[in-house]
Amino acid sequence: MLFNSLEFAIFLPIVFLLYWFVFQRNLKAQNLFIVAASYFFYGCWDWRFLFLIALTSLCSWGSGLLIERHRGHPVAKAVHILNIVLNLGILALFKYYDFFATSFARAFLHGNTDGLLLHLVLPVGISFYTFQALSYSIDVYRQKMAPVRDIIQFFAFVSFFPQLVAGPIERATNLLPQFGQARHFDYDTAVDGLRQILWGLFKKIAIADGCGLFVDRVFGAYQEQSGFTLAIAAVLFAFQIYGDFSGYSDIAIGTSKLFGIRLMRNFNNPYFSRDIAEFWRRWHISLTTWFRDYVYIPLGGSRVSKAKIVRNTFIIFLLSGFWHGANWTFLAWGAYHALLFLPLILLGRNRKYTNTIAEGRALPSLTELLQMTLTFVLAVIGWVFFRADTISQAWHYLTLIPHGGQPDLTGLAPLCAYILIMLTTEWLNRSREHGLDLRNIKSHPLKFTIYYLIIIILFLSYNGTESFIYFQF
């Protein structure tokens, strides 16, 4: 079931009404209903993989209780390690086994994969809910939180449908306690949630899906395109993946607000960044901070020797790349960003820009504009590796861009207008929670005019129900 589908448009109000008008008085019943609705939501893809979510939930919940019971004894550490190995082992089996088997066959068996491949279907969202469940057991082991004894509460935390298949990857310390306390409907929060859903749909349908049509055509026959056309497609892919993933996050966060649940922010205007370090603080925040807290800092972070800083930086960026998929292109994308990030961290400049750009000003300075442009161009180059099928294809694609030639701009005028609307809106609201936060507009007619214009654009842009890119991860 996709957020941009008719099925979800029917599903959401039904769940909303039952949640608030039937189950509100009993917290456990309300949580159980969330679990049932979430399992139904996920089961619409493939009901068989519900067993994996249940297994992940059960193992992580049980490990938390065992860790606490045997605190200070080697058994606690053994349980902790076993739970990590089990969850990552399931993830590796479904997501990476065939990749490694194929790579092994190419290296040692002349490419013969007979009898080696399993051809397993990748469960939707497995990387997201696995990391979310692991955050709980790790935090319990580190004594950052007490284990939860209510299994229904824990299952609701792991399976909460708005962010189940593509995040944000919530921390147990933030989301889990919210299922342990009574929730009350707040009109203003719900209205803001609807605005954020609308903005997410705009970025997905008008921006991402529109860019995808052009990008797929160009990347599918890139050898036949002019250099200018290749450059345009690379830029549009940057907006496609941003509109697609941040659009999903906006819809997930907005939907959660309807149920009195607060999710962490996952994107914070990354294309307004002044360097790559700032870009990574603003892009896929839930994953970036997950690797920082559970991998980078335990390795010593940046409080170690220069050589270990280099090692740690490459580890988290390569892991981030490989998390996205079983392909060498994702590792190349991660390594590329590690190379961009290293000079900043080695020179102690990786936290130079932590404030809102052009804070208190309507427009950026010339220096800020040049910094944003350079950072965006560097990100676009990386996105070519992310989008390409192979590293050699990505490199060939990039080498053809300087050749120039006549650009193909067919049908791009409306799309460029929508991108301009998105950038302008998010620039004006860059210090707020999301692009359609209109609390500073007092005129109700103006607000509703904006809503209706976005809805009209959605109807004009809709080309069918397109899946979200990050569902494959």
| Active-site entry in 80, 284, 324, 337 | 324
Assigned token pair, 112: 């013969």
| CB count in 10 Å sphere of residue 175 | 24
Q: Is-contact 186 260, C-beta < 8 A? A: yes
- Cα separation, 451 vs 436, whole angstroms: 9
As a whole number of angstroms, the distance between CA 86 and CA 82 comes to 6
Asked if 184 is an active-site residue, the reply is no
Provide the annotated active-site residues: 324
